[in-house]
Amino acid sequence: MVVVCRNLSRVYRTEAVPVKALTSVDIDIAAGEFVSLSGPSGSGKSTLLNLIGALDRPSEGEVIVDGVALRGLNGAQLADLRLTKIGFVFQAYNLIPVLSARENVEFIMQLQGIAARQRRNRAIGILTSLGIADLADRRPGELSGGQQQRVAVARAIVTEPKLLLADEPSANLDSNTTETLLDLLKRINVERGVTIVTATHDPIVMRYARRRVELKDGRIVADQVLDPFVDPRVDERTATQTL
């Protein structure tokens, strides 16, 4: 399993009353799965994604990523795990505005200590595979939302992580750009074997996932594995049933 969560709970302390974002969640995610975490605002889907990605710590329970238990790791060790095993795609893109698209893609590799020539070659290669090599020298402010999201995806996968986490990846995109992005994520999932987990309320994103996990009030209330050969573009009926 790439991800194992056991008895996972997260309570946020506020000035009023404690807020239970997750309560006793158990979930296993196998290598090569494409999973959507869905549910209304406040259901716990983004909290679960952040715990899996070692961006937050649980109040109770355990998270294991690629065989590594996160509970015993210090801040530096968690940062190293995120750097080497996990790719992130955020709804705000989180690109560095003063760097070009290529330099943004190279940034993670630079943190990993990869030599400059190899960084450049790999960055150009991944941008080419995503169809945006001609944008390599443009800064984020010169790119459309869809183009920025592709750069964010390129940065997330250029180091070939075991796990790709995407938080509301379609939030700032129109439906056509969303379909293009999801076709790309599906290709990464199938051709590269990258395990993908998204937190989303978008039925288009859910349609592409082959496993749909629904949360409500911090608990998993549905977990459905779908036929991997169903074309997501014509899977409207099942997507509607999942909502």
CATH number reported for the structural domain that contains residue 94 in this entry: 3.40.50.300
Interval 208-227: pLDDT, tens: 999 999 999 999 999 999 87
In the chain, the number of structural domains is 1
Residue 126, pLDDT above cutoff 60: yes
Amino acid at 159: T
Residue 231, pLDDT above cutoff 80: no
Average pLDDT of the chain to the nearest whole number = 88
Question: Beta-strand (E) ranges in the chain?
Answer: 3-12, 19-29, 34-38, 60-65, 68-69, 86-89, 163-167, 195-199, 211-216, 219-225
pTM (2 decimals)? 0.86
User: In which domain, by residue range, is 113 found?
Assistant: 3-242
- Quote the CA–CA distance of 165 and 52 in Å, as a whole number: 9
Q: pLDDT value at position 213?
A: 96
Average pLDDT over residues 38-47: 92
Interval 131-150: pLDDT, tens: 889 999 999 999 988 889 88
